[in-house]
Amino acid sequence: MYGFIWRRLPGGTAARVVASLLLIGAVAALLWYVVFPWLTPLLPLDAI
Amino acid sequence: MRTLRAIGELGVAVGLVLLLFYAYLLWGTDSYTEGQQRALQRQLDQVFGQELGHGSGDGSAHGKTGKQPIGKIRLGHALALLRIPRLGVDYKYAIVEGVGPEELRKGPGHYPGTALPGQIGNFVISGHRTTYAAPFKKIDELRRGDEIVVDAAEARYTYRVDRKEIVDPTDLAVIDPVPRHPSRRPSKAVITMTTCHPEYSARQRLIVYGVLAKREERT
């Protein structure tokens, strides 16, 4: 999976590292700001 | 071999997502509560401002809308402002009406049906010990005599911490009008704060009791 993405990224090693970091950041931001806020009220985690 | 590798990589991805989710619960939920608190405290400022305006004779139309019967606060709406000097000069939370999951995400909640601020009986509020800004995280540090200041629309009530105890989650006697004495009629105004214990667990409840010491009219 990671190897597949790595091979698909364009450019040399440096460009690929930058692109990878951007991808990781984008996925993390999507989880943090969209998925998790939607998910938490649905989970039984509300012990005070 | 390839499938094994794919499963391994998927496992790593799931692990990282779970770690991030844990971090979100601990820190990300705070920003939700902070946003809600800003709105609720603005709500209170407006109500209190109108009360002040009414007191100084600033237009009768304002006075009429400002005098909301405090017993009819709707679920999730701001009820009063809580300050605890021991927990810092900035410690300030709008107390919302209701103790459901949705209300407690906004801030400390008042048990509907228990006494209102300053009333004879038991004013019971509950708050998160962890996550959602954790308003009651440090109430275990309160000591006997510490002030719990509750600003309601009509007056400022100052309670003083009396004692603390740790009980089972099923022990509902702590919210009796006279805590622990279900059949006794209340003669004092007391406050009861409840939260989870120990931190990061919901196995028990930490209870802090206080007694009304001072009432200052808002004029």
ipTM of the complex: 0.88
CATH, residue B81:
2.40.260.10
DSSP per residue, B182-199: TTSPP-SEEEEEEEEEST
- d(C-alpha B193, C-alpha B38), whole Å: 22
Let me know if residue A19 belongs to a domain.
yes
Predicted pLDDT at B73: 77
pLDDT digits (tens, 9 = 90+) for B91-131: 999 999 999 988 999 999 999 999 999 999 999 999 999 99
Would you place residue B63 in the very low, low, confident or very high pLDDT band (cuts 50, 70, 90)?
A: very low
A28 interfaces chain B, CB cutoff of 8 Å: yes
For the segment B61-83, the average pLDDT, to the nearest whole number, is: 68
Question: In this complex, do B104 and A48 lie within 8 Å of one another by their Cβ atoms?
Answer: yes
Within a domain: residue A36? yes
pLDDT of amino acid B70:
52
Q: Say yes or no to pLDDT of B62 above 50.
A: no
Q: Quick one: pLDDT band at residue A46, thresholds 50, 70, 90? A: low
Interval A36-48 mean pLDDT: 78
- Number of folded domains in chain A? 1
Give the gap in angstroms from C-alpha A9 to the nearest C-alpha of chain B.
Answer: 18
Report which of residues A37 and B122 the model is more confident about: B122
Q: pLDDT per residue over B126-183, tens digit each? A: 999 999 999 999 999 999 999 999 999 889 999 999 999 999 989 999 999 999 999 9
Tell whether the model's pLDDT for residue A6 goes beyond 80.
yes
User: Is A28 a domain residue?
Assistant: yes
A23 to chain B, any CB pair closer than 8 A? The answer is no
Residue A47 falls within a domain, yes or no? no
pLDDT classification of B66: cutoffs 50, 70, 90 = very low
Q: What pLDDT, on the 0 to 100 scale, is given for residue B55?
A: 43
The range of the structural domain enclosing residue B105 comes to: 2-217
Which residues in chain B are contacts of A47 at CB distance < 8 A?
196, 202
Does the CB of A42 have a partner CB in chain B at under 8 Å? no
Taking an 8 Å cut-off on Cβ atoms, the answer to whether A40 and B25 are in contact is yes
Helix (H, G, I), strand (E, B) or coil at B146: coil
- A41 touching B, CB under 8 A? yes
Q: Which of B21, B29, B175, B201 to mutate to test the interface with A (most CBs of A within 10 A)?
A: B21
Domain containing A13: what range? 2-42
Domain count for chain B, please give it: 1
pTM of the model: 0.81
- Buried (b) or exposed (e) across A10-43, using 16+ Cβ within 10 A? eeeeeebeebeeeeeeeeeeebbeeebeeebeee
Q: Is residue A48 part of a domain?
A: no
Peptide bond into B198 cis (omega under 30): yes
Instruction: Tell me the C-alpha distance between A31 and B161, whole Å.
Output: 42
> Of the candidates B153, B29, B182, B16, which has an alpha carbon nearest to the alpha carbon of residue B95?
B153
Q: What is the pLDDT of residue B51?
A: 61
